[in-house]
Amino acid sequence: MPAVSVDTFFACSLMVIAVLSAMTGASKLLYPYINSSSGQNSAQRYEEISRYLLLNTGKPTNWGQNGQEVPETFGLAKSDSDIPYELDMDKVTRLNVENVYSVSYAELYSSLKLSDVSFRLEIKPIFQVIINLTATFAFTNETTYQFDILTEKQGIAVRSELTCYVIAENYMNNISADAPMGRASWNVTLSNSVRGPALLIVLARSIYDSRIVSFSVCAFAHNSEQPKSVGTFLRLSPLNHVLNASFVDSEVNLSRAYALTFDYDSALTQIVDNNESALYEIPYFLDPSPTIIVLTGWNHSEFFTEWVTYPQVPLQIGVDFANTMSLSNVFSYTYEVTINSAIYECTVLLGGPKD
């Protein structure tokens, strides 16, 4: 399929958003219908439930900001928003099981108050960013790494602008680039006096709509062993613009912390530090972009980098319907949602007993 097909997709996306904007208040109309299936087509009822989850704030309306609170009624919409399908970034973040403040599926299922309906939620960027390390050139005083960067949706090229960050020990640099046909090549040169492993963070923004932003992070060895998997040294949990960095090992020592978006970057201010964790303030960026948070430090004599996104997407939570389709009616609904001014794709799967 030619790139023009993806261009048409983004143009249609804007039209869909405009239509959704005319639906403010729809959540108030849906709830009377989702509690009863009598006289209703299952598909119609499930669609109403899927919309309710995204248009309703839940109860209490600010349950996302309090990491110890379980919602009495489940809903992901942002409070005091006039934009339909605008989700609260902290409610979304608490759906990610990697977050220490996450709400379990059992708790969400109970708060939905629909005993005959199971669900699954998936939230991810509109398109994908793929980073490939294609070559390494070692010299006496420095090493150059060659990367191919692809931006695509289901294998179709997405025209985009790029912001690329490189982070290693006491080192951070960024550069802007273009992927006009959904592809770019970029060389990263690091001094051999810098300790790794290093991170390459790529944020990509659609040239057609600055609210459509995706990202990817690639860890690579530099004067180091191969990078460990995310979460080996720290468990990073953003919530309510505070990052909780929980230590996996008591010998962890933190050095630097960064918050990165498409247009901005900032060092983070540590507000609490003890033997088990550290807290950092997360800035409020006026940028329709996910925030990539990176912490560097040492575990004994091993340097490390850890990262997390805020909101903490992509994510999946709920029932795996793949093995239950023979026992249930399963319906899938996909929406474009806004989180912190950026647009994401949200898929709601709902299932229940067969009619």
What H or E segment, with its residue span, contains residue 17?
helix 3-20
Which residues are registered as beta bridge partners of 165?
Answer: 174, 201
**Using CA atoms, how far apart are residues 220 and 29, in angstroms rounded to an integer?**
51
Q: At what angle do helices 26-34 and 42-55 cross, to 10 degrees?
A: 140
246-260 tens-digit pLDDT = 999 888 999 999 999
285 in Cβ contact with 264 (< 8 Å): yes
226-248 tens-digit pLDDT = 999 999 999 999 999 999 999 99
User: Token digits for 355?
Assistant: 């009619």
Confidence of residue 273 (pLDDT cuts 50, 70, 90): confident
User: Token digits for 118?
Assistant: 């199971």
- Residue 84 DSSP SS3: coil
**Using CA atoms, how far apart are residues 86 and 335, in angstroms rounded to an integer?**
11
Q: What is the pLDDT of residue 324?
A: 64
108-144 tens-digit pLDDT = 999 999 988 999 999 999 999 999 999 999 999 999 9
Closest CA to 160 of 121, 200, 215: 215
**Using CA atoms, how far apart are residues 324 and 303, in angstroms rounded to an integer?**
45
Alpha-carbon 63 to chain mean position: 19
Given a cut of 70, whether residue 26 has pLDDT beyond it is: no
Closest CA to 126 of 351, 348, 342: 342
- Residue 103 DSSP SS3: coil
Please report where in the chains the tokens 């299932």 appear, as a residue: 351
316-334 tens-digit pLDDT = 999 988 776 555 688 999 9
| Residue 291 CB contacts under 8 Å (≥ 6 apart), including other chains | 238, 259, 260, 261, 282, 285, 309, 310
Q: What is the pLDDT of residue 34?
A: 52
What percent of the chain shows pLDDT beyond 90? 78
User: Token digits for 172?
Assistant: 């951070």
150-200 tens-digit pLDDT = 999 999 999 999 999 999 999 999 999 999 899 999 999 999 999 999 999
In this structure, how many other beta carbons lie within 10 angstroms of the beta carbon of residue 219?
21
Q: Do you find a cis peptide bond into 314, omega within 30 degrees of 0?
A: yes
**Using CA atoms, how far apart are residues 125 and 211, in angstroms rounded to an integer?**
11
Q: What is the pLDDT of residue 326?
A: 55
Q: What is the pLDDT of residue 42?
A: 80
Confidence of residue 274 (pLDDT cuts 50, 70, 90): confident
| Mean pLDDT of the region 88-103 | 98
Please report where in the chains the tokens 């006491």 appear, as a residue: 170
Q: What is the pLDDT of residue 353?
A: 75
- Residue 124 DSSP SS3: strand
Q: Which residue has the higher pLDDT, 29 or 65?
A: 65
168 in Cβ contact with 222 (< 8 Å): yes
**Using CA atoms, how far apart are residues 289 and 270, in angstroms rounded to an integer?**
23
244 in Cβ contact with 94 (< 8 Å): no
| Mean pLDDT of the region 51-76 | 97
User: Token digits for 1?
Assistant: 């399929």
| Residue 238 CB contacts under 8 Å (≥ 6 apart), including other chains | 93, 99, 244, 282, 291, 293, 308, 310, 311, 312
Q: Residue 113 — left, alpha, or beta (φ > 0 → left; ψ -120 to 50 → alpha)?
A: left
